[in-house]
Amino acid sequence: MHLRTVFMFTAGGVVGYFICLYYVDLLWAADATSDLVATFIVAPAGALIFGLLSAFFARSVAIFAASTVIGYFVVLFAWIGYAAVFDIGDREGGNGMAIMFIVAPVGGAMIGLIAAGLLSRRTPLTVP
């Protein structure tokens, strides 16, 4: 049991570190000082949070991860379908990049949180 907890903490920590580092570099880090803060303060804090969540809520995290990936592709392909139906041309690629790197990950994370909240219950939702 304890080995599984250590493994889940390590896996969650590694994933959390790189997710936090990616989004901090994408949205916030502008110079060398903020890059150091992102690398040595923000990303390790994210790794700790993701690691703890993975260790103590392993089933919920697995549900969250799977449904986040599915939600990402649902939002992405919904945009592609919408653009195809309404004949939206994106010559410069700005809309596509915004959908791929900002809107779809946020939509996937929201879908993942909703799915994890609904599917990770251990007891049924019945009134005694």
CA distance linking residue 69 with residue 63, whole number of Å: 10
Q: What is the pTM of this model?
A: 0.54
Q: How many residues does the chain have?
A: 128
Give the domain ranges of the chain. 1-56, 58-122
Average pLDDT over residues 68-89: 89
Neighbouring residues of 76: CB distance < 8 A, sequence distance ≥ 6: 99, 100, 104
pLDDT at 125: 53
Residue type, 84: A
**Minimum mean pLDDT among 76-85, 92-101, 102-111: which range?**
92-101
For Cα atoms 38, 68, 39, give the angle at the middle one, nearest 5 degrees.
10
CB 10 within 8 A of CB 47: no
- What backbone torsions phi and psi does residue 30 show, to the nearest 5 degrees? -120, -25
| Burial group, residue 121, by CB count within 10 angstroms (0-12, 13-18, 19+) | exposed
- pLDDT at 1 > cutoff 90: no
4-49 residue pLDDT tens? 777 778 877 888 888 888 888 888 777 777 777 878 888 888 888 8
